[in-house]
Structure formats: C-alpha cells, structure tokens
Structure 1
C-alpha cells in the first residue's frame, strides 16, 4: 500500500515538473516585451542619407545588429498616416481593415469622418474634442489584440503617439491603454474607451509640464550651419514658415507663436520626439512592461517627423536636423530598453507609415516636372457637368483623397445611373492638369492600369468608404494645399518605399533586397511569438530574419 502511494507521489511530481517546465519554456519562447516604433513620414533613404552624422548606437546599431528589409513597400492607396499605422499592426489593407484614409466620406453617415473620432466616449485628462477618440471604425484585430488573446489577456498592450491615430489604431480593440497629446491641456490624454482616469504615473508625468519647457527652448540648429551638406540652403520660398515668422529660417522662435496654446508647437519641432521617447520610457516603468512574467507590447509612433516634413519638405535643413536628433533619441531608447528589460530580452522593429515627396517648388527649381491639383476645382467641375447633363442638382457628395463620391441617395431618388455619371466624368476630369487618368472603381478590372496599380487600388476599395472615381496624379503632383511644404499619399516609391528593421529577440543580423510589404510586419511578429495573425491579415511572415 505504501509502495503504491509512493509511486503515485513520484508520478505526480514528474507530471508537475513536466507541466511547470512546459510553462517556463512557453515564457522563454517569447520575448519579455515587443516594441513597435513607427517614424511618421520616414522615407527609406533616411536610413542612409544622413548616416555620416548618425551616432553608432541609433539607426546604425539597428542596421548593424538587426535585420533590414531594404525593399519594403506600401501595397495600397492612399499612403497616409492612419491606413499606414493600421496596415503595420493588422497586416492588412484598407479593403479589409476599413481605415480608408485619415478622413473619408462615410456613406452610412453621409459626411466626411475622421478615422478615430467617437462621440460616444469622453476625454480623460484633456480637452473634450481631443479625447473623443477610439478604434471603433477599425474592422479587424491588431497584432496587439492577438497577443492579448493568446495570453488570455495577461499581456499588457499600450499605444503612444502625439497623434491620436498614431496611438489608437496600432494598440487595437482590446488595448489596456492608448495615450496621445492634447496641446490645449498640455497633457498626455486618453478616452473613456480605455479607462475612467489617468494612471498615477501619467498624472505625474503631465505634472512636469515638459511640453512648455521644451517649446520655450525654441528650435536652434544642432550643428553648425556649414555641416548640413544633404540639404538646400535655409531660406527657400517653398518651405512654410511658422505663423510668427516672415521666412522659414533658423532660429525658429516657436515660443513666440500667438493665437495657439504654447505647447501645441511641440508637435512641429524635434523636441516632440524627445517628449514621446520620455513618455514611452515612463510607460515601461509605470506599467512595469516586460517585467510581469508574460510578453507585453508597446507601440510608439514619432509624429513630429511628419509635421516637420509637411512644413519644410524633404531637402530642408529642418528635416536633416530632425533626423540627426531622432537618431540620438533612438539610441537613448535602446539603451533604456537594454537596462530595464535586458539586451536580447525584447523584440523591436522600426518602420514608417509612409514616405514623402519633394516639394513642388524644389522639383521645379531643379527642372523636375511637378505641380498642384485642386480638389475644389474637381468638385466644382464634376458638379456642374452632372447638373448640366442630368438637369439635377447635388449629385456630388465630396472629393476627398483624390476620390470623387457621387451622392448615391440622390441618384436613387432621381432614378439616375451612377455608371452613366462616371462615364461622363472620366474624360472631363482626365483633362485637368496633373491628372494622369481617372478610374471608376466598379470597372477597375477593365482598366489598362499596370497590375501593381490595380492591386494597390483594389486593396483600397471599401464600398461604403471609397469614392466612385479615383483620380491618379502624375508623379510629383499633389493637392494644392501643399503649394508650400509637401505631402504624400501616392502609389509612387517616394511615398511607398519605407524602412523596416527588426532587432533583438529571435532576430538574426542581415538584410534582404527581396520585395516585402508593410502588411508582412504583423504576420512576422505573430510567427516569432507563435500566436495567431490578426484576423484580417493578408500579409505573410518574413522568415529569412528568424534566428
């Protein structure tokens, strides 16, 4: 009897030991923390363009120790911030995840809507409108959601960006938190979608009043002016000055800008990246990310690079100065992760939501064809043509994202044909300067576009959120609000070729020049973590980078 009892005890200990060992192995088979870094509007060539001025421990460390996918492209239209961040973390395209642009005409609401606006939630810690945001317009899960599901919600997922959309969309539906910056209150804020009040560590960080402190330092060149070899001279008419300036030249005394909250300027100067990095460090410590016995996920998006790029363009000293400074922030952040989480204990990737075009004025100055197109002109022309043809008014709802939306309700009411309307408009709109061609989405398969263009447009099409007609501009042409400064959004490489570097846990050193896509990022993270891809993913894992 005692012998049988003893055998049972031994067997139980063996089973317990095996089970416990399996649990330990599961923990060891994943990193302590995953960190996704998105640099808003970072072109792929910025990894190398200013490399002589980069430190050894920023971008160069990522390239020297990580795995770089040198030919990574956006595979949908338009290449904007919201669909870019969403594609990175969902592994999918607008036709599936639903985030068609930053703003779009929503047919179910019969108005232009913002990608994360949500009046059903309230602001927490900031001004009313700034906080009424959530991911409710997103149709799919993100890789952060899938990590939460895979660990039975033991993992923490947190999103951080100055822009609301750069924080909310990556963090996903089931995030523990998403934080963004409100210039009016000068605080990092959130909404009741996530919580009822800000955590103590966020309140403590806000109490430091760092945004105002940074803005008061103004923006001076980090280096001597003679060292900015990769940029044009400082005073260019096609760069957009700050509201208090006559010319767009250093020193930028942003602390003297009137008619806006002092801290609002933090978004448009490099110190905004400093603020973002410091808040990310505070989040790691405040939420004990990477120290809780399970894998956590932190998404960080650096937004000022986009604001600065829009204002000054690709070849500006301001842009070069920003990336030299950002390199130092990246280096400091990696050092922090090594200290707090442990070198080799975290998985990090760095990428971008889109690139950016050279300013129209810069292109013309250098004999490169370029120009601007007016969406207001497109609307007025289409409206008058259809009114003349059908003898009916109000047949065009909007022109947004180079897409023309017909008023389907009025077409049904008046018993008119939207197909006929498109056939009438295509030859007319195609004659506008800067427009290469006009495509009807319902007849996309019948067009003579290249297969790549067709794929990008098909990956965009969401019936209730996409226009009837898509206007495709010539390369280097853009909307007329960017007469000064620049923008992005096209299918061309300057907008769609983005950096992608994986670093740390489970990643070998190397690079590939095989074509990869923005939609491959989330599936790659899922494969490394051995969890499900996001539920709408269309990409595939980049397996060559696995150790």
Structure 2
C-alpha cells in the first residue's frame, strides 16, 4: 500500500513539474543593442583605458565578457563587408557583399553595395541619398532571423551616419533603417522601407540637434597636455577639417563649416553623439523593449572611422573622439538601465574593421611602411598592351583586385588564363607586392594560412576581381598620404574588439581564438532562434550563462 501511495505522489509531482515547465515562457532579453564602432582597433580598449570613466568602456569590460582574440576571417576589411559579416555570420563568398563598391561585369560599371535605382528618397529632396536598400545582400541577418522567429512581432531598427551601416545590419524587412543626409543634416530613409518618415523621426529632425552640438566648435575634452597616448598636435601626416588651415585644436570654425557643409560633423565626436541620440529617439518612438517580444537596435558609430581616415590613429583628434564616445556610451547605458531595466537587455560591442598607422607616423619612427598603387590601372593596361597588342584588357582595379575585361579578351581571341598568368608575373616584379594570385587557383597557391583562407572567404565569383594582390605590411594605397585607411589582412585592420554584456551573459574575458563570423550564431543561441541562412560561424559558448 505504501508503495502505491509513493508511486501516486511521484506521478502527481512529476505531472506538476512537467506542466510548470511546459507553461513557462522561454526567457529572452527585451532588447538587443548592437554597437559596431567603425574602425575601432582592439587596442583602443586599453590604449586610452586610464582616461575612460566607469560607465562606458570600463563598464563593458567589468560587467561584460570580453573576447580578446577576435579576427576578421576574409578580405577586404571594409565597412559594408564588416557589418554584413557581423550580422550574417557569413563571408563575402556567400553573403554577396564583396566590398563597399565592386565592378559589376554584367552591367560593365562600378556598383555600390546598397544602391537601388528602384527606390526613392524619403525625408530629403536629394534624390541620390535615398536610392538605397538591402537588395544586394544575399543572406539573411540575425535581425531577419529574429523577425522570422517572432512571426514579425519584433521591432528592428538600424541607425548610422552611413547608409550601408544602417541598411545591412537591419536586414531585409526591418521596422526601419535610417541614415544621415549631408544636404539637410537630417536622418532619412528610402521607399524600400516606408513612404514617409515616422513622426518620432520628423520630430527629431525638427530639433536640429546637430546645430547645438557643433555651436561651440571642437576643443579637447581634457587639457591637451594630457593626451600623452597620441602624437603632438599638428603632425604632418594629419589631414585638415573643413576650412582649418592646420590640424590643430581648437576647431573654432566648425559651426560655420557645418553650416556650409553638413558632412563636417562626421569627422568629429559629435557625429557619434548625434547617432546615439537618434537611436534613443527610435527606442522611444517605436516603443522598443516595452513588451515580451525581443527587439533589436543596430547602431553604427561612424565618426571614429571618419576621424581615423582624416587624422590617423595616433592623432589627438582620434583620442578625443574615443574619450567623448566613452562618456556618450555611459549616458546611453544609463538610459537603457532606466527605460529597459538593468539586466533586461543585451549589448554587444564590436568593430567592422581596424585601421593602419599613418605612413608618416611609421616613417618618422623607423617602421617599415610606404605607398602602393600609384597609376596602377594605367600601368597594368600598358603592360598588357605591350604583350598582347590589345587595349582595355582590364575593366577595373579596386579593393586590391584586378578585374579583367572578359569581353575584350574573348573578342580578341585571347586565352584568359594566359593573360592572367602574364599579368601576375609582371605584378610580382613590384617590390611592394607580397603575393598576386589567380582567384580561381587560390587553393593550390603557396600562400600561408590564415591568409589563404581569408582570400577564399572573400572571393565572390560574381563580384570580386580575377587577381588578388597582397601588399607588404603597413603599406598604404597612394591616396592615403594623409590620415589612414584599412582593407588589409594584417592585425591592425583585422583584430577587432568583441564584448557582450547584459541579459544571458557571463562576466569575464578570454584569449581564445574567435572570428567575426561567430557573433551572429552566438546571438542566435542566446535568443534561441535559427542561425542566419549563410552562417559559417560557431557559437561562443563561454560567454553565455
């Protein structure tokens, strides 16, 4: 009898537990915030660490999980490719975004990554600024998968000064994607998403917040003597901002320069401030994080990239941009704590790429450096004409790749493999070039790993060139004689920060090797949704509770 009663009680308890488990809702964050800081090298987390305050980067490092050995596993390391890879977990060979621009052989012209002639601008009279959409993106994003996983109940918003950096992360069918219009100083969108701007954005634009941000010009946040992590102000490798005669603080002409040309704000810390303010307006206007369905706010902070390109990584200007961004992030996190609730949202912070030291800076400090690519297309065309007696055998030279003109090759009954082989031999006479390889023969080439895999991952047969060129370390393209650029496989371009913080995330750090492609599947695991369609990444299990 006692045995029967025990079995009966066990059955009742088991049924209750089973029922409770089946009735319980899967826990998930109210909001995911993606912070992709343009051109942020990993070392910036620690280079300015002593000057960061508690609530920004230090809060991420203290309360989050920092991955210290995350690299980009493809070429080229450009903005559009980085954002796409972060959000798809895939690579250019699959997701289709092979660069910011590429040569389209079918149309015989250069194509911009998000250009779309079928849509129109919304929010501006500038017809070109809004002819943008994600139609050139072939794979789904983590934001797409969240929409699919919640039967389109989630709210997804992308914001950036750059069109491509708001469009590609937001995915194919978001609530909206918004970017900065240089002609008005407003944020705009395209008819791909909507026919009129939402009221919250109309109200935001009407406030002319940028005017207020730049009204006092730009001076250093701290006394300039404390910027000991940077080169002296007015270094010869720095570019000029607006009408400034020298690259020196204070930039008192900024208000007038902004009035004359709105894009001047992009090169200052106030571009990041403006972006975070429009992100907050989107959060409030779309009531994101206000219910039990997870929403996603994809934010690109682009002024770090613009400042890096213009002034170089060792400038006081770039340091000041990061110190001010640190304060802006602290206020943004406080806002999220107040409106969403601390521990109820998840943040990840990463970068789309890094940036090389300025050529002048490296030269001044006896480091290997130099320039490449001066008149490259002209020289390559001449070399091929001398050999084959045919002009225009090259369509374009872009993204450190050579696009052969297949139509001219076929028209003149030439063998494409022979043309390629000859040009590669000529390229390898250039001392600035380490490798020049036929894209179709990468696997059999004598190129060391991980470089070989990165070329393979970056090769999209419909959108990439026919020959990939790899230049010597720290060599920059000839157009970057001031400031800097990016795009290479080297650590300064490919080693990026990655920190997760908030709901579902452990505290800690790791030096294990991971890749940019691992971000999207990790978020998918956290949200318990399907991986993006082209995902090749793996989940970073150690960050998840």
TM-score range, shorter chain: over 0.9
What is the aligned residue count?
530
Select between 318-327 and 381-390 the one with higher mean Cα deviation.
Answer: 381-390
DSSP 3-state at the match of 2:347? strand
Q: Which residue of 2 aligns with 1:187?
A: 186
Does the 8 Å CA contact 2:31/2:294 hold for their aligned counterparts?
yes
Q: What is the aligned partner in structure 2 of residue 461 from structure 1?
A: 459
CA contact (8 A) 1:347 1:506 kept: yes
Partner of 1:474: 472
Cα 1:248–1:447 change in 2 (3 A) is same
Contact preservation (8 Å) 1:184, 1:261? no
The CA deviation string for residues 386-410 of structure 1, in whole angstroms up to 9 with x for no partner, is 1122221211100001100001122
**Secondary structure in 2 matching 1:451:** coil
Partners of 2:253 and 2:409 in 1: CA distance: 50
Secondary structure class of the residue paired with 2:442: helix
Unaligned runs of 5+ in 2: 1-14
Q: 1:63 to 1:408 in 2, by over 3 A?
A: same
Which residue is equivalent to 1:93?
Answer: 91
2:67 to 66, 69, 80: 69
> What is the correspondence of 1:28-39 to structure 2 with a 5 Å cutoff?
29-39=27-37
Stretch of structure 1 that moved more, 461-470 or 210-219: 210-219
Paired residues of 1:244 and 1:256 also in contact (CA < 8 A) = no
**Deviations, residues 462-499 of structure 1 (Å, cap 9, x unaligned):** 11111111111100001111011101110000100000
Select between 409-418 and 68-77 the one with higher mean Cα deviation. 409-418
Q: Counterpart of 1:281?
A: 280
Partner residue, 1:439? 437
Q: What's the offset of the Cα at 1:423?
A: 0.9
Which residue number in structure 2 is paired with residue 25 of structure 1?
25
d(CA) in 1 for partners of 2:462, 2:447 = 23
Deviation at 1:22, TM superposition (A): 4.8
Partner in structure 2 of residue 540 of structure 1: 538
| Mapped partners of 1:532, 1:482: distance in 2 | 42
Could you report, residue by residue, the CA deviation over 1:419-468 in whole angstroms, capped at 9, with x for unpaired residues? 10111111211222422221111111221100211100000111111111
Task: Report the TM-score, using the length of structure 1 for normalisation.
Answer: 0.94
1:253: which partner in 2?
252
Tell me how far 1:243 sits from its aligned partner: 3.6
SS at match of 1:463: coil
Give the 3 Å change call, closer, same or farther, for CA 361–108 of structure 1 in structure 2. Answer: same
1:507 counterpart residue number: 505
**Which residue of structure 2 aligns with residue 6 of structure 1?**
none
Secondary structure at 1:481 match in 2: coil
Residue in 1 that maps onto 2:205 = 206
Q: Is the 8 A contact 2:218 2:254 kept in 1?
A: no
Partner of 2:167: 168
**Structure 2 counterpart of 1:300:** 299
The SS at the match of 2:85 is helix
Q: Secondary structure at the match of 2:179?
A: strand
Seen in structure 2, the aligned counterparts of structure 1 residues 160 and 258 have a Cα distance that, compared at 3 Å, is: closer
* Structure 1, 261-270 or 155-164: larger mean CA deviation: 261-270
Is the 1:215–1:254 Cα contact (8 Å) retained in structure 2? Answer: no
Residue 498 of structure 1 aligns to a residue whose secondary structure is strand
**Is 483-492 or 438-447 further displaced after alignment?**
438-447
CA distance in structure 2 between the aligned counterparts of 1:324 and 1:76, rounded to whole angstroms = 30
Q: 1 CA distance for matches of 2:291 and 2:314?
A: 45
SS in 2 for 1:399: strand
Whether the aligned pair in 2 keeps the contact of 1:82 and 1:166 (CA below 8 Å) is yes
The 2-side partners of 1:454 and 1:254 are apart by 48
Match of 1:394 in 2: 392
The equivalent position to 1:410 in structure 2, one of 408, 411, 419, is: 408
3-state SS, counterpart of residue 129 of structure 1? coil
Q: Distance in 2 between matches of 1:215 and 1:431?
A: 50
Aligned mate of 2:375, from 377, 380, 384:
377
Alpha carbons 1:290, 1:296 under 8 Å: kept: yes
